[in-house]
Chain A
Amino acid sequence: MNHKVKKVLNVTLTYCILILVSAIFVFPCLWLILASFSKTGSIYSFNGFFPSEYSFDSFVTLFTDTNMYNYPKWLLNTFVIALFSCLFSTILLILTAYTISRFEFKARRHLMKGALVLGMFPSFMSMTILYILMTQFKMINNLWGLILIYSCTAPMGYLVQKGFFDTIPISIYEAASIDGASNLRIFRTITLPLAKPMIVYTALTSFTWPWSDFVLPTLLLKDKDCYTVAVGLMSLGETEFSRFAAGSVFVAVPIVVLYFLLIRNMVSGMTSGAVKG
């Protein structure tokens, strides 16, 4: 077999595998999207896998029929939680990662080890205690309770951000401190601009987690008016399948928009040209 044929076969095989894998991934999404356009609404009326008739009705009722299931309210709740959690988590996470990466202090190693070990426990282990704490603080059915939990647990996942800060050469900081900048000024004028891609990444991840989280809101939000989209959709009746599908599809829209808005800031190579090593 000559070299060229071998190469063509190789490429064909690679593409076949890729198509197969992507089909497995795309199918559930496609099915969900198609289901959201189902006219009858019930999963039992499907013709095989897919709906027999299509219409926009589910999306319309999602926003108009708010007596039983107030989807716009859920969306607003989710947005408030995700927005503030994103804001606070990003600030805390960036500060934590920067501090641990840049400064030597006594308990640094212990803190890092502690965070690593704590991170190994599954998060549902803390559910009981969180519920009790939130009851004590009277924060059940309170969006701020969720924001508090999301923001405060975020710095535990500082490792990725620390890894990024570690790549900024220390001599840049040293040059700035000799140039007369205080620690805060260095952070503001040097670190933050350099860490822009990382901040965008952090903001994106800390927005999507509260946006799509189900476990914590179910635990802490009992009042229907406080529901987030995830909890609300779960409370839908059995016959409302297409509404469920429509709600799930629509909830992905802001994330996709956000992603495309921010992705161009996530270019790598910001530090190129700073130093030669």
Chain B
Amino acid sequence: MARVRLENVCKVYGSGSRSVKAVTDFSLDIRDKEFIVFVGPSGCGKSTTLRMIAGLESITSGNLFIGDRYCNDLEPKDRNIAMVFQNYALYPHLSVYENLAYPLRCHHMSKEDIESRVKEASDILGIRDYLGRKPKELSGGQRQRVALGRAIVRHPDAFLLDEPLSNLDAKLRVQMRAEISRLHQKLGTTFIYVTHDQTEAMTMGDRIVVMKDGVIQQVDSPSNLYDHPCNVFVATFLGSPQMNILEGKITKEEGKTRFVSLGEKPFSFAMNPLQLGHLGEEDFPLDVKLGIRPSDVLLGCEEEETLFRSTVELVERLGDQTLVYFYAPGRKDYSIASTSGEKRYSVGEKIQVGIKKEKAHFFNGKTDVSLSDVKPVTYLSKEKVHYLDGKQKGKLADRLIDASLAPLVPSALIQIPSSAIRFEKTDEDDVAIQVVCDCSKDYSDRIAVYAHVKDSNKGISFSSEKDRKPGEEITLYVPLSQVDLVDPKTMEKITDTEKLSSKCHPGVLSFRKQGCFLEAKDEIENHEKAYTLVRLNPLGKKDLLVLKGVKTGEVLYYSVDSSDLLYVSMNVFFRKRCKTVRK
């Protein structure tokens, strides 16, 4: 039983220009006894993340803690975790009993202990009758039970399950789904479950991590994910049939906010401004995407509720519900409505369509981010130093960027992740921001607060446990390590917050008239090291520059062609082993 903590974990395959980033800046705190599900389309990095936790893949940068142990460099066998594979991975030449006993034998347990543990596990999973059989004599469901059993016997700190049900047929899958949930309740161990099946994710997880292209999109409870998706991707990924997305605009006229759809025959309706979270006057008119779940589309409604008329294009009867396909303004593709199975529709029939307005989701038309949710990051202008109190201003500048590097990126923005916002000072170095509350919105387990920075109109949103009244002044604290500087053009981080694994040592990079200098920050053992610079080239791509044959403590002069170098990130690390010199 253990908490699993990932801090800024990255995974890069390959090196140089051919490198591929599989997982980017993955930070997650998995609580003890939690059932967490990683879900996303194939290739989103969910399995890679799981394999990094298991130790089957190395962690390029960032930190991994299982319990209180730092696990980046531990062998899989020393992490005390158990894993269930998609294809079961049973040992084919061993009987079921021996398969279950294998991990225990590896840990040199006594014969009696092995026997009692195997008996215990086989009783839990109901495989006692098959103990003498070989895996090939078992059915798919039985094999998967044996694989689960092999994980249980270890009494591990955490269970990692990599799409364990995707090889089973539909009926067995439902059965095993319930069985795994029951197992979790019985064992009370941390479960980390990877799947691409949204039904599994929604039914099994205490919390779900939705991933796309190696980046976490949203981490939340299943109901919150369904009711409050943070962006269009999450909204359309979860829920079947998927959410209808219609394009349109939000306008504000005479104090009233209205949604106006695109299309030849647009429709519009007045909306509750609270649904938009935090918007300034200058934001209107705003391109938005309206998201509405098929179950929230009303067909054949009364005249006053009708938004537009359309024609039934296709009908799918599923028994308890009927799916009606039609075209809606603002969407080129079909839109779908789901109605109760009793109602009959036929192709070509004229329908009056309305929506449950309070169930509508609004997303920014450009960024696809939900307008009604807490923004994951807030960008504040660097020049507005009064965002930060006097003492910290100096420190912040030190931490974020070398003074002489500043002219290179004059308009850099300060990036504050909303997940890092605290209401109490936890560290001397914390950055403080004074804000005034505008409005708040009640979610089931938290309250979203929309505020603006004091003496400025810049909006900031964050989650709070208690309700905040409009006009209330709040001081927010952000750990210095979570604050970053970004280039407004590329939105790339100038400071690289990817933490270094234990193999690397931090160094300080400074710009002087002659060029750029590197100095070792920590005391390093006295042997030759190579310096690795993470450099951002003009295309915004990361580039590793390795300088060889430099002695510890030596100040390195490093000359760069100004047209070539855009800016150099802060992290310079000293590698124990040198690679080739690239420049």
Verify A178–B76 contact, CB threshold 8 A. Answer: yes
Interface string of B107-150 (1 = CB under 8 A from A): 10000000000000000000000000011111010010000001
Interface check B59, CB cutoff 8 A: no
Q: A178-B76, A181-B77, A273-B137 are in contact. Are A171 and B91 (CB under 8 A)?
A: no
Q: Of B77, B89, B107, B137, which contacts A171 at CB under 8 A? A: B89
Q: Tell me the smallest distance from the CB of A107 to a CB of chain B, in Å.
A: 15
Q: Tell me the smallest distance from the CB of A272 to a CB of chain B, in Å.
A: 5
Nearest residue in A to B79 (C-beta to C-beta)? A178
Considering the complex, which residues of chain B in the window 67-97 have a beta carbon less than 8 Å from any beta carbon of chain A?
A: 75-77, 81-83, 85-93
Interface string of A245-273 (1 = CB under 8 A from B): 00000000000000000000000001111
Verify B77–A273 contact, CB threshold 8 A. Answer: no
Q: Tell me the smallest distance from the CB of B52 to a CB of chain A, in Å.
A: 13
Cα distance A115–B150 in the bound complex, in angstroms: 40
Interface check A127, CB cutoff 8 A: no
Verify B135–A181 contact, CB threshold 8 A. Answer: no
Cα distance A179–B109 in the bound complex, in angstroms: 13
Interface check B408, CB cutoff 8 A: no
Interface check B106, CB cutoff 8 A: yes
Cα distance A179–B105 in the bound complex, in angstroms: 9
Considering the complex, which residues of chain A in the window 166-207 have a beta carbon less than 8 Å from any beta carbon of chain B?
A: 169, 171-172, 174-182, 185, 189-190, 193-194
Verify B83–A175 contact, CB threshold 8 A. Answer: yes
B residues near A189, Cβ cutoff 8 Å: 102
A residues near B107, Cβ cutoff 8 Å: 180
Cα distance A189–B75 in the bound complex, in angstroms: 19
Verify B92–A179 contact, CB threshold 8 A. Answer: no
Considering the complex, which residues of chain A in the window 60-94 have a beta carbon less than 8 Å from any beta carbon of chain B?
A: none
Interface string of B520-541 (1 = CB under 8 A from A): 0000000000000000000000
Q: Of A174, A177, A178, A273, which contacts B136 at CB under 8 A? A: A273
Cα distance A175–B82 in the bound complex, in angstroms: 9
Cα distance A5–B224 in the bound complex, in angstroms: 73
Q: A178-B76, A179-B77 are in contact. Are A277 and B91 (CB under 8 A)?
A: no
Verify A171–B85 contact, CB threshold 8 A. Answer: yes
B residues near A179, Cβ cutoff 8 Å: 77, 82, 102-103, 106, 150, 154
Verify A169–B87 contact, CB threshold 8 A. Answer: yes
Q: Of B82, B89, B93, which contacts A193 at CB under 8 A? A: B93
Cα distance A70–B75 in the bound complex, in angstroms: 59
Interface check A275, CB cutoff 8 A: yes
Interface string of B137-168 (1 = CB under 8 A from A): 11010010000001000100000000000010
Most central of A181, A185, A277 by chain B CB within 10 Å: A181
Q: Tell me the smallest distance from the CB of A268 to a CB of chain B, in Å.
A: 12
Q: Tell me the smallest distance from the CB of A196 to a CB of chain B, in Å.
A: 8
Nearest residue in B to A182 (C-beta to C-beta)? B77
Verify B136–A272 contact, CB threshold 8 A. Answer: yes
Verify A172–B91 contact, CB threshold 8 A. Answer: yes
B residues near A276, Cβ cutoff 8 Å: 87-88, 140, 143, 167
Verify B87–A275 contact, CB threshold 8 A. Answer: yes
Q: A178-B77, A179-B103 are in contact. Are A273 and B150 (CB under 8 A)?
A: no
Verify A181–B106 contact, CB threshold 8 A. Answer: yes
Most central of B88, B89, B90 by chain A CB within 10 Å: B89
Considering the complex, which residues of chain B in the window 466-512 have a beta carbon less than 8 Å from any beta carbon of chain A?
A: none
A residues near B77, Cβ cutoff 8 Å: 177-182
Verify B85–A194 contact, CB threshold 8 A. Answer: no
Q: Tell me the smallest distance from the CB of A134 to a CB of chain B, in Å.
A: 41
Interface check A9, CB cutoff 8 A: no
Q: Tell me the smallest distance from the CB of A175 to a CB of chain B, in Å.
A: 4
Q: A179-B102, A180-B107 are in contact. Are A273 and B56 (CB under 8 A)?
A: no
Q: A169-B89, A175-B89, A181-B77 are in contact. Are A273 and B167 (CB under 8 A)?
A: no
* 28 A-B pairs whose Cβ atoms sit less than 8 Å apart in the complex: A172-B91, A174-B76, A175-B83, A175-B150, A178-B54, A178-B81, A179-B77, A179-B82, A179-B150, A179-B154, A180-B77, A180-B103, A180-B106, A180-B107, A181-B102, A182-B77, A185-B106, A189-B102, A190-B91, A194-B92, A194-B93, A272-B136, A273-B143, A274-B90, A274-B92, A274-B135, A275-B87, A275-B88
- Known contacts A171-B89, A175-B150, A274-B90; 18 further A-B pairs (Cβ under 8 A): A171-B85, A174-B83, A174-B89, A175-B83, A179-B82, A179-B106, A180-B77, A180-B107, A182-B77, A194-B92, A272-B136, A273-B92, A273-B134, A273-B137, A273-B138, A274-B88, A274-B136, A275-B90
Identify the B interface with A (CB < 8 A). 54-56, 75-77, 81-83, 85-93, 102-103, 106-107, 134-138, 140, 143, 150, 154, 167
Identify the A interface with B (CB < 8 A). 169, 171-172, 174-182, 185, 189-190, 193-194, 270-277
The 9 lowest CB-CB distance pairs between A and B, nearest first, are A273-B136, A275-B87, A180-B106, A179-B103, A274-B92, A273-B135, A171-B89, A175-B89, A180-B77
